[in-house]
Amino acid sequence: MAKIKHIAIATQDPEKTAQFYKEVFGLREIAKINSPGASGFHLTDGDINFAVLKFKNDATAGVPQGKDYTGLHHIGFEVDSIEAIDKKLNAAGAPIRDDINDALGLGKNKSSHVNAEVKYSAPDSVIIDISETGWAGTAKHPR
């Protein structure tokens, strides 16, 4: 069974947003992000990796509103087999997001790494991350 292990929100002020979740809910900062596609933070409650992101360009944001979007951005599922879940996603009509995968260097045929391995769209247009390796700050990768 797949398990939700990652939630990401988009914000225009990652410092302020991360501070809110740390102060109010006691989330712990495990990494600061400054990649070509986004800046922000990875926070955790020990079970779920919670990303607070400010996208730097429209391609990595991958949503119609582009890099200025704020709100829930994507949900990540840890799965036993990317190949098996890919078949289920295809059968359910959930398209792979090669536009975002290419912008981030992700994809089914890329080498595995911690955090997202491949992205799809759900019927409601929420972006879904799929990972066999899991996320930093979760049971597989505590910090």
Q: Which domains does the chain have, with CATH numbers?
A: 3-131 (3.10.180.10)
Instruction: Please give the pLDDT value at position 113.
Output: 59
> Which two tokens mark 91?
């059968």
Token couple for 120: 């799809």
For 72, the enclosing helix (H) or strand (E) is strand 71-78
Reported as a single tens digit per residue, the pLDDT across 16-64 is 999 999 998 899 999 999 999 999 999 999 999 999 999 999 999 999 8
Percent above pLDDT 70 for the chain: 92
pLDDT band at 92 (very low <50, low <70, confident <90, very high): confident
Is 142:129 a contact under the CB 8 Å cutoff?
no
Would you state the pLDDT for residue 104?
A: 84
Question: What is the C-alpha separation between 41 and 142, in angstroms, rounded?
Answer: 16
Q: For residue 85, what are its two tokens?
A: 């879940």
pLDDT given for residue 54 in this prediction: 96
